[in-house]
Amino acid sequence: MKKTFVLDTNVLLQSPYSIYTFEDNDIVIPAVVLEELDKFKKENNDLGANAREVARMLDQLRVEGNLNKGVLLDSGGMIRIELNCEHVILPDCWDGKKNDNRVLKVCIGLKEQGLNVILVSKDIFERIKAEIVDITAQDFLHEQVPIYEEQYTGKIDLFTEESLLNDFYKNEFIHPEDAYINYENNIKAKDGLVVNQFVILRSLTNTKHTALGRYDGKFIVPLLFHNEHPFGVSPRNANQKFIQEALMMDSNSAPLCILKGPAGTAKTFYSLAVGLQKVLEEHSYRKILVCRPNVKMDEDIGFLPGTEEEKIAPYMRPVIDNLEVLFDSENHDKYKNEFELNDKIQELFDRHIITTEAIAFIRGRSIVNQWVIIDEAQNLTPRQVKGIITRAGQGTKIILTGDPFQIDHPFLDTRTNGLCFAAEKMKGSSLAYQLSLTEEDCERSPLAFESSKRM
């Protein structure tokens, strides 16, 4: 049976092209949604840009037909604008003039006409209220990735013969035919490996005997940089060695690196350490560019006083904290006082070795030969993350870091945020390296590790 999808404002604000993703079913946009979109159109942020994009698409459709009666889409479905069905009666305790409730009135009115109505909304409370009045409701699923537990982690444990493991570094490879995901069930690695997936090889007879490697698309090969100490930093566990490998690869081999995991797992710390090594000591990149998405900052930055750097400085404090640890630990004599340490770090910014920007200012740029760290990338939308990655010019390496369980964006979750979206979509790309970390990888402090488990 043909379905009629009623789109809420938040769906169009997150994904303007959502109107083309419902196959041959009909799409209804309540008039109140147009009123809400109109309030966003002048904003200088992604919500404003998306509202303007929706306006352009609807204007083009208006030229092709009558949106009040319905315009045919290439998919075979029809899109139309529906007035707010003011005659529909809602529960007495609900404010009928509230925009969310006006959308529900449209859903009820269309259902009374015999249509198979489905409300599509990012608003959980709106979906709950829809169910109360017997309207089927769902989240916008087109840009969703699998639940977090089923998402790609970038690593795998494999098992192989003791003799092959002993000769792994000498031979410099193990064939996937000779490694097992599950030896007892004869499930060989060749059936389940992904390009650039990191591997912990274990002996079949002694699982504590291990070696670390990476699947290059043909063979499991040893890590190239496991003995390196970028900017004086040494990896403390297997996953940090994998992080180091991903970051140390040059921009031609690995222009994109994605690191997911909770606080304290050294994602930002390692990204800065390797970046400083590449810029200051190897001169492989012009500079380090650091961006930290923040919903409020991206919306209000134009109204804040001061220069761009002054506006975003408070949001970059975690980056400064990591730099303090890096510089205080890499100097054997330690810095004698806070002023000396602060001067050393400030010099990096004064000389533009490290620069900071708001995500809102990256749109439209072409970033060449830079080490780009997008910290807290879980607060990006899929459209934003695509816009950032496609800004990468020749010689640029982009590192996305973040914790999918620390999302501040009201319309995003672990299945729809840009960090997880990029990780799933770039899975298997020869140009992308990625790794998911857990609480067990926390190296911040015993207290940080204990609290991450308990809280």
The per-residue pLDDT for range 374-411, each reduced to its tens digit, is 999 999 989 889 989 988 899 999 999 999 999 988 87
Average pLDDT for the chain: 90
Q: Tell me what pLDDT residue 338 has.
A: 78
Contacts of 144 (CB under 8 A, 6+ apart): 415, 416
Instruction: Give the phi and the psi of residue 125 in degrees, each rounded to 5.
Output: -65, -35
Please report, for residues 36, 85, 351, the alpha-carbon distance to residue 62 in angstroms, rounded to integers and kept in the order given: 19, 22, 53
Look up residue 336 and give its two tokens. 């004698």
pLDDT of residue 295: 47
98 to each of 36, 93, 117, 160, how far by Cα in Å?
Answer: 11, 12, 21, 63
Looking at residues 409-425, what average pLDDT do you find?
92
Instruction: For residue 261, give the amino acid letter.
Output: G
At 333, the pLDDT band (50, 70, 90 cuts) reads low
CA dist 411 and 399 (Å) reads 23
pLDDT score, position 308: 61
Which pLDDT score, from 0 to 100, does residue 317 have? 84
Give the tens place of pLDDT for each residue, 149-202: 999 999 999 999 999 999 999 999 999 999 999 888 888 888 789 999 999 999
What does the pLDDT read at residue 364? 66
The per-residue pLDDT for 307 is 62
Quote the pLDDT of residue 143: 78
130 and 107 Cβ atoms separated by less than 8 Å: yes
Instruction: Find out whether 374 and 85 touch, Cβ atoms under 8 Å.
Output: no
pLDDT band at 334 (very low <50, low <70, confident <90, very high): low
Instruction: Answer whether residue 345 shows pLDDT above 70.
Output: yes
The residue-averaged pLDDT of 431-450 equals: 84
The pLDDT > 90 percentage for the chain reads: 72
User: Which helix or strand (DSSP H or E) is residue 95 part of?
Assistant: none
Average pLDDT score over residue span 213-219: 96
Whole-angstrom distance, CA of residue 424 vs CA of residue 152: 7
More confident residue, 44 or 297: 44
Q: Which pLDDT value is given to residue 297? A: 41
Query: What's the pLDDT tens digit per position in 362-373?
Result: 766 789 999 999
Domains in the chain and their CATH numbers? 4-138 (3.40.50.1010), 146-222 (2.30.130), 237-454 (3.40.50.300)
Tokens 């570094």 identify what position?
Answer: 169
Report residue 45's pLDDT band, with 50, 70 and 90 as the boundaries: confident
Q: How far apart are CA 79 and CA 244, in angstroms?
A: 50
**Tens digits of residue pLDDT in 269-309:** 999 999 999 999 999 999 999 998 864 444 455 545 556 66
